[in-house]
Amino acid sequence: MTGASSGGSAHGNRALEHPPSRSQAPARPRTLTTLGCSRAVGEERHVRDGEKESASVRVTAELRRRIASGELGPGDRVPSTRQIVREWGVAMATASKAIGLLRDEGLVETVVGVGTVVSGGRGGLDLPGRRFSRGSRAVAGGPVTTLDDVVRAAMAIADAEGLAGTTVRRVAQQLDVPTVEIARLVRGRDHLVALMADEAFARHALPEECDGDWRTRLELLSRIHWSMYRSHPWLAHVVSFTRPLLVPHAMAHTEWAMRTVSDDLDPDVVVHVAATVTSFVRGTAVNLEREADARQDTGLTSDEWMRNQGDVVVAAVRDGSFPILASVWDREDVAMTLDSLFEFGLQRMLDGIAALVQGRAAAG
């Protein structure tokens, strides 16, 4: 049996004027006690910031040594932020800062589908599959950075490195402009992520006209969404159905899905059908980024990882506690991947909606 391997409805627009807001907790009264605590906490924070600074410098120095000695050569992957956290026992922010320092020195660069690798030399040489290049924008006197530039750069970073490291500061580093220039265009990270989501849905636009019945159209919608999440694995973690990102292009996808079944079902059912279909795809797609991260960290596909478990897996299924798992474990005709889960679940879901539509039609 093959283990699961990798292969919403938030919606996004350039004209988006306001970032999604988060409620603010009320400020604590400034009593003598809280002021005293604030001073103590501030002093502690100063120490911790110093520790974080020295930790990131230590990690950077060690990785720089490995590159200089040839232990890590051009094109080799450097440890991911998760690996740095495990190896050095530092915080994720410290690991990200260490990689950022190496990137600023031109020693490493990001390659989509691979991760962070050693550059060809100081300043970076072209490598197969290279996704980014330094110095694409002059700080002064060069081309003006546009909102499209910012969103494209942010999406490329998220596609290659994940959403966690996609910050306004990181985008500014990528475009080689001051952070204040990015802040002039986007109102913080939430706004940036909303614009990224909008652009992702815009790049996977649905056709105005589509031949076929409602099932054909919902299947098309689902496959387009699956392709979109495969292209941008971070997006599945941005989309929410309880507090959706109200961005235009994703809202257009929801409207398209609802229009598909609006002639056959009552409005309440239409809303639930549209949400069920899109949430099924998104729910399966949330595994894509996790699998991509695991593959980058370990260098193994999920199949290779499962095979490496060897004796542990065999012992778990052979002691009689899990007879059905044991019966299918070594069968070549049994395989499960994220793609097969998507295909199987999609058809079963559409079968269920078909029964609903037919039942409503029979009831008149």
- pLDDT of res. 128: 32
- pLDDT of res. 224: 96
Residue 205 neighbours by CB under 8 Å, 6+ apart: 249, 252
pLDDT digit string (tens) for the chain, length 364 residues: 555 444 433 333 433 433 333 333 434 333 323 333 333 333 333 334 444 457 888 888 899 888 888 888 887 888 888 788 888 888 878 888 888 888 888 888 877 656 788 886 433 323 233 233 333 333 344 456 899 999 999 999 999 888 888 999 889 988 888 888 898 899 889 999 999 999 999 999 998 877 788 999 999 999 999 999 999 999 999 998 888 878 999 999 999 999 999 888 899 999 999 999 999 999 999 998 888 777 777 777 777 777 777 677 777 777 777 888 778 777 778 888 899 999 999 999 999 999 999 988 777 6
Q: CATH 1.10.10.10: which residues of the chain?
A: 60-201
- pLDDT of res. 257: 93
Q: How is domain 60-201 classified at the architecture level of CATH?
A: Orthogonal Bundle (1.10)
Q: Which of 108, 82, 131, 103 is nearest to 293 (CA)?
A: 82
- pLDDT of res. 11: 38
- Exposed/middle/buried for residue 35 (C-beta within 10 Å: 0-12, 13-18, 19+): exposed
List Cα–Cα distances, 56 to 95, 108, 222, in angstroms: 7, 16, 43
Task: Report residue 110: phi and psi, to 5°.
Answer: -105, 135
Is residue 287 within 8 A of residue 338, CB to CB? The reply is yes
CATH number belonging to the domain at 207-363, selected among 3.30.70.1140, 1.10.357.10, 2.40.30.10, 1.10.287.130: 1.10.357.10
Q: CATH 1.10.357.10: which residues of the chain?
A: 207-363
